[in-house]
Amino acid sequence: MTAHTNKSLWLLALPLVLFSCKAKKEDMLAKRWVAVSVENPQLDAQINEQQVFLDTFGKNSDAATNLAVYGITNIDSARESLRAQLNDYKAMQQHAVQNTWFHFRKDGIVQMNFSGQIDSTKWYFEEDSLLVLDEQKLKGAGTILKMDVIQLTDTSLKLKFNENGMNSTVLFHPDKK
Kindly state whether residues 68 and 148 are assigned to the same domain: no
For residue 125, tell me if it sits in a domain.
yes
* HEC sequence for the chain: CCHHHHHHHHHHHHHHHHHHHCCCHHHHHCCEEEEEEEECHHHHHHHHHHHHHHHHCCCCCCHHHHHHHHCCCCHHHHHHHHHHHHHHHHHHHHHHHHCEEEEECCCCEEEEEECCEEEEEEEEEECCCEEEEEHHHHHCCCCEEEEEEEEECCCCEEEEEEECCEEEEEEEEECCC
Kindly state whether residues 68 and 140 are assigned to the same domain: no
Average pLDDT of 38-53? 89
Kindly state whether residues 112 and 35 are assigned to the same domain: yes
Predicted TM-score (pTM) of the model is: 0.73
State the pLDDT at residue 1.
56
Percent of the chain with pLDDT over 70: 87
For residue 143, tell me if it sits in a domain.
yes
Kindly state whether residues 108 and 141 are assigned to the same domain: yes
Kindly state whether residues 88 and 113 are assigned to the same domain: no
For residue 127, tell me if it sits in a domain.
yes
**pLDDT at 11 > cutoff 70:** no
**pLDDT at 14 > cutoff 70:** no
Kindly state whether residues 64 and 121 are assigned to the same domain: no
pLDDT digits (tens, 9 = 90+) for 112-130: 999 889 999 999 999 888 9
State the pLDDT at residue 97.
85
State the pLDDT at residue 100.
93
State the pLDDT at residue 43.
86
State the pLDDT at residue 23.
65
Kindly state whether residues 115 and 158 are assigned to the same domain: yes
Kindly state whether residues 34 and 109 are assigned to the same domain: yes
For residue 123, tell me if it sits in a domain.
yes
State the pLDDT at residue 16.
41
Kindly state whether residues 36 and 60 are assigned to the same domain: no
Domain holding 66, by residue range, is 46-94
**pLDDT at 18 > cutoff 50:** no
Q: How many domains does the chain have?
A: 2
Instruction: Give the chain's mean pLDDT.
Output: 85
Kindly state whether residues 117 and 161 are assigned to the same domain: yes
CATH code where residue 155 lies? 2.40.128.280
Kindly state whether residues 133 and 160 are assigned to the same domain: yes
Indicate the pLDDT class of residue 20, thresholds 50, 70 and 90: very low
Kindly state whether residues 106 and 158 are assigned to the same domain: yes
